[in-house]
Structures are given as C-alpha cells and as structure tokens.
Amino acid sequence: GNSVTQMEGPVTLSEEAFLTINCTYTATGYPSLFWYVQYPGEGLQLLLKATKADDKGSNKGFEATYRKETTSFHLEKGSVQVSDSAVYFCALANQGAQKLVFGQGTRLTINP
C-alpha cells in the first residue's frame, strides 16, 4: 500500500538557517506529492505540490523536487523566518484521486 515517511521532529533552527525536512514514500503507480503546512491553531494549507518525476514545486521560498529514483520529496528553504514555525506534512495521492496519505508531520520551530 501507499505510505509516507518523514524525518522525526521536532526541528529547531535559528532565523536565516537552511532548512531540509526529509520525506520518502512508497506507492504503486505514479503518485502526486504534496507538502501541507499547519500553523498553530489552524487547519492544513497546501504549501506546494509536484505531479510527476523531476517536477519541482515551490511556494513562499520553499522548494521540493519529485525524485522517482530515490522515492523522495524533501522540503527545503534557504533562509527560514520565525513565521515559518509550524507543523509540516508530506503527503501523496494517486494520480487523479483525492485521497491523501500523510506522513506523521514534522514540527518546526524557528528562534529569532
């Protein structure tokens, strides 16, 4: 079956540090991959997505590249801000389907 594994948190960084949150997946076929972000007290919001191999999703300075050969979709940002503190979820869905399979989430805290 489909599954997503994220790096364990929590992750604590200083402002302007480089961020990587690892995500690997197991899936049949060719899934679409997503990163969702959950700010304190809120629901999830789509951060970025990629629908095929070698696609790069990007938004708000965050990037992730769909790597089929390593079944990975790592989230990166070159210089994090305090406002990036949140829980980040990697997820997949089979092509054209709506059912999402989530990783366990990674809590990120950025200190000024």
Partner 1 sequence: NAGVTQTPKFQVLKTGQSMTLQCAQDMNHEYMSWYRQDPGMGLRLIHYSVGAGITDQGEVPNGYNVSRSTTEDFPLRLLSAAPSQTSVYFCASSLVGVGDYEQYFGPGTRLTVT
Q: Which parts of this chain interact with partner 1 (CB under 8 A)? A: 4, 32, 36, 41-46, 49, 51, 89, 93, 95-96, 98-105
Give the count of beta carbons closer than 10 Å to the beta carbon of residue 90.
28
- Which run of H or E residues covers position 67? none
* φ/ψ of residue 78, rounded to 5: -75, -30
Query: How far is residue 69 from each of residues 26, 33, 72, 92, 100, measured CA to CA in Å?
Result: 12, 14, 8, 16, 22
Shortest approach of partner 1 to residue 112 CB, angstroms? Answer: 27
Shortest approach of partner 1 to residue 69 CB, angstroms? Answer: 21
Q: Which is nearer to partner 1, 51 or 65 (CB)?
A: 51
Beta bridge partners of 62: 59, 77
Q: Which is nearer to partner 1, 80 or 103 (CB)?
A: 103
Q: Which is nearer to partner 1, 16 or 54 (CB)?
A: 54
Q: Which is nearer to partner 1, 80 or 105 (CB)?
A: 105
Shortest approach of partner 1 to residue 76 CB, angstroms? Answer: 20
